[in-house]
A and B are shown apart, each in its own frame.
Chain A
Amino acid sequence: MSKSNIEEINRNIYDIKNKDEYDFKIKKGLTPEIIKEISKQKNDPEWMKEFRLKALDVYNKLELPTWGPDLSELNMDDIATYVKPKTGLSNSWEDVPEDIKDTFDKLGIPEAEKTSLAGVGAQYDSEVVYHSMKEELIKQGVIYTDMETAVREYPDLVKEHFMKCVPVNDHKFVALHGAVWSGGSFVYVPKGVKVDIPLQSYFRLNSPESGQFEHTLIIVDEGASLHFIEGCSAPKYNKVNLHAGCVELYVKDNAYLRYSTIENWSKNMLNLNTKKAIVGKNAKMDWVSGSFGSKISMLYPMSILNGENSKTEFTGISFAGKGQNLDNGFKVVHNAPNTSSLVNAKSISKNGGTCTYRSLVRVNENAKNSKCSVSCESLMLDDISKSDTIPTSDIRTDEIEFSHEAKIGKISDKTIFYLMSRGISEEDAKAMIVRGFAYPISKELPVEYAVEMNNLINLELEGAIG
């Protein structure tokens, strides 16, 4: 059977570069003076300035990870950690500068807002430039705003939850985030309120040799529910950009949160993001994750099942092409009785790309009668790519049903032969198989992203069999 010669992703929408125009760009590097300047620019309260400086101390003390992809090309002296765009926060697209609005238009954000979203936040470089939510949700007491506004207007809620789920000493890049964070979204869904239509925040990094460090804090109070979508992209530059965001999710008792992420950063991006959820009694946390971009990605969303009968599901796909090393996975800690977790992870490697699935399942002594099932599948589309599966399980009680299974392989020659014997061309057969492989994940994505993912697969395989 002939080999599939896969073309690189057509990224024309994402690679649109605007001029590197800004209101303020901090000088490169990471010193207490730079942190103080960021804090000043952001009008931080005193407690936040102190928090940032302590986080910088922690950052300086922690080592780089001794595992995973090589991060030696990252030099913080080459990265500007704060870039303030030439506009303030607006709740009307008309007030957003034309070139920035044009970028979000091309990414389809305002259109999606009109048709299928209950609220939108749009961040450009280090600050949120647009935030809006439907009137009826405001009336129900839902808060959806940028993090800076939340720090000022809801200090008690923020202080109670900010970097408590993900403490700054978690790892080096969380500490970095704590020191330089800027932008991001804050969502509070009051008790019993069901937000039926998703909210979406979109993060766009335009400035070269810079970093984006947005902080997303979502609190879904008791009995409430929410679907939150996070999208991110950036145009490609020659030098590395850094994304070290942080997502903290609190799913209180009997609540439900679905967090969908479509990550399509450019191929010069180091994506070192941290996401964690604390899940209460009878609550459920669902993660849906598509990882397509970045030069290097180290992303392991985590659910901590603290409440009895709490549940979590992770559904994720990674798609690594030339020059990409996507080290993704999922972590779950069962920390209460009758908890359950279900993991379904897939990866596709092509054109020399590397996909790694890295995970942790920890079942603590108190998690009696818990269940955990993990399945991961990896598809190699050529013989120059790489695919690794590195799953850890740590079981500390006997009252548990735990199983993990993984498969690595190529597209089955027999399946291609079968489809071709039914009159389907080899190209179409391969695309059909890859789409079928990705289908259990793509069906969980918001519909516009699922369509985009299928288009991506078609584009990559179209006329590329040789």
Chain B
Amino acid sequence: MTNRVSKGSLFPYCLWILLFVIAPIALIVYYSLLDLEGKFTLSNYQSFFSPAYIKMTFTSFWYAFLITFFTLVISYPTAYLLTKTKHKHLWLMLIIIPSWINLLLKTYAFIGIFGLYGPINAVVEVFGIEPKQILFTDFSFIFVSVYIFIPFMIIPIFNSLDKLNPTLIYAARDLGASSFTTFRRVVFPLTIDGVKSGIQVTFIPALSLFMITRLIAGNQVITLGTAIEQQFLVSQNWGMGSTIAVFLIIIMIIIMLVTGQRKGGRA
């Protein structure tokens, strides 16, 4: 009945898919096969598999892993405790507000906080330790990234915990499970979907963030994202940049498959 109207309404949407979803990916793949003069070549892939790039990929992975790990370790208990508070949605709102503040501003704040004369060093000095440069270290990079991702990790975990039927917990407790066993065997498995989407929204951006590495880590930390930005906007080597982007896309697909929610797993 409404089919004609509906099909017509799909037109701009499909045009969008074609132009901004399919075409860009195709272009990235196409450019990854071009050298600086625009001739077809596989040399970009060859240089990607050189030790320097392999090492960069692994360090990028390692940082992303650490960032995701610490974010999860801090966020899960927070989300868990939030669901136990009285006005939980108000508290969740308060967690979300900082995520609305521009990313750049939050990162910029840490330039001051971690600076040589910043508050952290002032506190350290009270304990008689020499102040030292915290900025431009991998610690500062990981700390700021974790700080940025915490709200994004809390939201999905909070939602899945919130949906959890509390009678399941009572049942487990009645059947003699300790609170730790209840958590390990009941609560955590039932909220794993939230954890997975939290990991998705943390790990992939953690691989590709380049402004935090530039502002906070100086040029100490090079992630895949920094490398792409470097190739595209500094070296103007779009071919190499696209090759790294292709690998980032492949990694992303793998992560999506690993953390993807199976449909119909839980009624």
Tell me, yes or no, whether A binds B: no
Residues of B within 8 A of A (CB): none
Residues of A within 8 A of B (CB): none
